[in-house]
Amino acid sequence: MASVNKDSKGWRIEFTLPGQGRKPLRLGKAIGEKSAREIGRHIERIVESKKTGLPPAADTQNWLLGLPDKLRNQLIRLGLIEDSGRRASNLLGGFLSEYLSSRTDIEKSTKTNLETAKRWLVEFFGEQRELDSITPGEADQYRIWLGSVGKQAPNTVKRLCGRAKQFFRAALRQRVIRENPFHGMKKLIVGASPSERIEHIDAVTAQRVLDACPNTHWRAIFALARYGGMRVPSEIVLLRWADIDWTTGKILVNCQKTKKHEGKEVRITPLFPELRRELEAWRAEAPKDREFVLKPAISPKTNLRTGLIKILKRAGIKPWPKLYQNLRSSRVRELRNQGFRENIVAQWLGHSVKIADEHYDQITDDQFRRAVEPEQKEEPPPSQGAA
């Protein structure tokens, strides 16, 4: 008999195959009780047919013909049915579509990035290409093709190959393939290229940008990035007026990037004087019933990069690389130079000290100046004559 039960992970069907012992089939939380019990009924008939050698009932045979690929592969792996040939999930396009549909745990932006990676893979290999036929040599050719025919930047090539490696690792774990062709591919960690160098945006330059902003709304956006050190757009678009405690000078920041890590869903950052001034000015103009500081004035789809570049041109400033990340890194370095301990700055801005050292640490012109200028010797005070 097949038993149908539910636990914290969703519905589970257990059955016993002749000579193979008890086996579980997990259906997950998306399956309802009615569907779970129907699947259990068909599995019971399949097990019975294996014992007797007779075909299962007609409606069970029809049910098997209409199975979705994911469930069909589960039944194949458990030994309930035979693999009768190519399935959609064994083909590149079908598997990637199924995989992306199953990733209900990721952010929309992450899914968009994975869909882009899927598009490039399908363009190179073809939608009907069998997953198990792709070789490590072809994976290397794909990487070269991305940089030449695809004309992708080196870091973009690394990201696309890294996501391809992720896709095929999932296929390997699902036993759709026997080998991950991207497994041995090295140097996929994205690093800063010369065009993406760290650059310090000092207080004088920041003030020039603020002065060139067309309105208080844009001044608030820039101040949140440069003086609040917030991530753009993920953190600034979620900021509510209620998150700002004007009395204690604290801001509650919702951390989309780190929210999957326990205790990293939110952080408290100071309402720095430079930031308070711009937020107060924007608050005086914004509708009083508005919940979010910047919504609906902007959304995650708003092209804040283009807007800032226009402001920089108006100010006569050449756009620096990695526009908003360098504003954040400038604040990290600035706060450290003001004497705040590294771990305190890391807590305020929501990163680890190691990450700050690797990605945000900057050598400023002022530090060079202090290193090369001769040390100023203090003149001794004038001697006081005897009274």
The span from the CA of 116 to the CA of 25, in Å, is 32
Per-residue pLDDT of 38-68, as tens digits, reads 999 999 999 888 888 888 888 888 788 777 8
The values of phi and psi at residue 292, to 5°, are -90, 150
How, if at all, do strands 10-17 and 250-254 pair?
unpaired
What are the Cα distances from residue 5, in Å, to 10, 48, 118, 214? 8, 20, 36, 62
CB-based burial, 249-266: b 16+ in 10 Å, e otherwise = eebebebbeeeeeeeeee
The top-level CATH class assigned to 92-191 is: mainly alpha
What does pTM read for this prediction? 0.56
Per-residue pLDDT of 243-301, as tens digits, reads 999 999 999 999 877 776 666 789 999 999 999 999 999 999 988 888 999 976 676 55
| Confidence tier at 386 by pLDDT (50, 70, 90) | very low
The span from the CA of 303 to the CA of 233, in Å, is 9
Pick the CATH number of 198-371 from 3.40.50.1820, 3.40.50.150, 3.40.50.450, 1.10.443.10: 1.10.443.10
| Confidence tier at 8 by pLDDT (50, 70, 90) | confident
Domain ranges of the chain: 3-85, 92-191, 198-371
CB atoms < 10 A from the CB of 13, how many? 23
Matching fold, domains 92-191 and 198-371: no
The span from the CA of 103 to the CA of 40, in Å, is 25
pLDDT at 196 exceeding the cut of 60: no
List the structure tokens of 300.
């995650």
pLDDT at 195 exceeding the cut of 50: no
| Confidence tier at 369 by pLDDT (50, 70, 90) | low
- Give the number of C-alpha atoms closer than 13 A to the C-alpha of residue 206, restricted to the C-beta side: 26
List the structure tokens of 326.
């360098």
pLDDT score at 281: 96
Q: Give one DSSP letter per residue of 291-325, joined into a string.
A: SBSSTTT--TTS-HHHHHHHHHHHHT-PPPSSHHH
pLDDT score at 263: 65
